[in-house]
Chain A
């Protein structure tokens, strides 16, 4: 599977972007070229590549490259944590909707149907209204919101695996539900799940940028890509470049996640490639 992913340009691009995000995000917790929060009014509005500031500085002299790196840290946490929450929510709901006793099963299906219609961004705003804005709120909202979508896809997949002969054979040989889930159901839905989660990561990056732009998410003092866009919007006419960087960062990250998801899908399903 890895080899198939690496053979497609999209897969290589996706892996490279994610690799950059992970390295940049992790490194930013220990080191950035300048302190991303430190104001230096004497060096305000520096153009790129001046005095060691790779991407220049903003209105109060903060280094934009350092801010971008620190923002990558937040984006990385949001993307990975949201995907983890979505995986847990999605698999748990899907299993409940397939295996639980009848009344519980029906309510799980109903819950999925109603929650799917509940826009994730709205959920995030409601949760922010209730619990205050923080990265945790954003992750919870994105994870639950997209987790329901994952649950819907996973449920369909589980149903088809449940109907297969080898599950019947396992049942007939006396395997308990727990063993069937571990040995047959989860391994068989794993490829679909991985594809879904890479797409969830893309959506999470977009949602996190939108939410931090709106002022939810981590506190305004901690650098984020959405927050940078919000701050630089006021100076759009005079310093357009400062609006370009964070936007490109978001777009490239999302593109990478999406292309990786497509490559993973192709790797898991050779027929999809043939049908093109």
Chain B
């Protein structure tokens, strides 16, 4: 296990570096001159040179990359090219919205997918099972952003239970109001991701139900439910954990869209605005942060997989 951890951590670091190179180079391809954007059309050449020197744009690319990476390692993602504010500090504030949103989305997805998926598997050849599967099929096809709009229509416009858009200006100072603002976004995000997860839960449980060891467990006198609970879920959890990792990544990206639908001041809204403004350093920091989170989740999922499945552990 130790050796595996060392290898897997090495792979994580390599992937992070590669992702960094990717983000960095992609954004260096930007046509046009940032200095000209900041200095304006009539700036003298000396002024442009001064701006470039100030932003470090006159140094070789490798050097720029090295200094950016060193900054990232210190937790310093640089400063906005437009107004000089610290990218890291702003991201920290925005994460207070995006973090809970993604977490809530996962909770909703799990609450929907695990019980319904198991139920659909247990009743796989009945109307209930088929109905749940069909519902999941539709859920996968519905765009998250549209589901968000429909939820707003029903629960905000018609019923008036929850706010349609926005987030309290003072953030989590009033936890109740902040939580209420996140309910519909979390449900929109969680339902669509949950539909994908449900199909995997169902097929995993169906697979386990047909396994030999479960038949043996039944033969010892356990009911189907008890046999599944004691001997089945751990096996069924394996593929589901892998998919959940991928789902988390999808969820994080889905959050970008959902934040726009519900006008939430999170990382996604920030990213969309900065892409519009072509604020290179900020886009770079935001994209790298999101990709890094995805990679770290992948790492954690792989490690969790090893922990759940003793067959994968190396012989001592």
Contact = CB atoms under 8 A, between A and B. Distances in A.
Contacts of A233: 149, 261
A49 interface: no
B103 interface: no
B137 A259 contact: yes
Contacts, number: 131
B149 A247 contact: yes
A240 B150 CA distance: 9
B152 A236 contact: yes
B294 A229 contact: no
Given A130-B30, A214-B272, A259-B137, A117 B295 contact: yes
Contacts of A258: 137, 140-141
Interface of A: 110, 113-115, 117-122, 125-131, 202, 206, 209-210, 213-215, 226, 229, 233, 236-237, 240, 243-244, 246-247, 250-252, 254-255, 258-259, 276
Nearest to A206: B143
Interface stretch (B21-29, B41-49, B89-97): B21-29
A114 B150 contact: no
Given A128-B275, A213-B257, A251 B146 contact: yes
Contact of B253 (A122, A213, A236, A255): A122
Contact of A251 (B14, B27, B138): B138
Interface string B1-36: 000000000000011001100110011011100000
B249 interface: yes
B256 A129 contact: no
B40 interface: no
Nearest to B260: A214
Which 10 pairs from chain A and chain B are nearest by CB? A247-B146, A255-B141, A254-B141, A119-B253, A129-B275, A114-B18, A237-B157, A121-B253, A251-B142, A251-B141
A115 to B, nearest CB: 8
B266 to A, nearest CB: 14
A252 B141 CA distance: 7
B291 interface: yes
Which of B22, B124, B141, B272 counts the most A-chain CB atoms under 10 A from its CB? B141
Contacts of B280: 129
Given A129-B27, A202-B141, A250-B146, A119 B22 contact: no
A255 B145 contact: no
A216 B218 CA distance: 56
29 contacts: A110-B18, A113-B15, A119-B252, A119-B253, A119-B290, A119-B294, A120-B253, A122-B256, A126-B23, A126-B26, A126-B27, A126-B275, A129-B278, A130-B29, A131-B29, A202-B141, A209-B146, A213-B260, A226-B145, A229-B145, A237-B153, A243-B146, A243-B149, A250-B142, A251-B141, A251-B142, A255-B137, A255-B138, A255-B140
Contacts of B291: 117-119, 122
Interface residues of B, number: 49
Contacts of B144: 210
B19 to A, nearest CB: 6
Interface in B111-151: 124, 137-138, 140-146, 149-150
Contact of B143 (A110, A113, A236, A247): A247
A48 B29 CA distance: 47
Contacts of A243: 146, 149-150, 153
A92 B193 CA distance: 30
A118 B249 CA distance: 9
Given A118-B291, A122-B290, 6 more contacts: A114-B15, A118-B22, A122-B287, A229-B145, A236-B157, A251-B146
B298 interface: yes
Given A118-B291, A126-B26, A236-B152, A209 B253 contact: no
Contacts of A254: 140-143
A198 to B, nearest CB: 13
Contacts of A229: 145-146, 149
A209 B298 contact: no
A7 B164 CA distance: 45
Given A117-B298, A119-B291, A214-B260, A125 B271 contact: yes
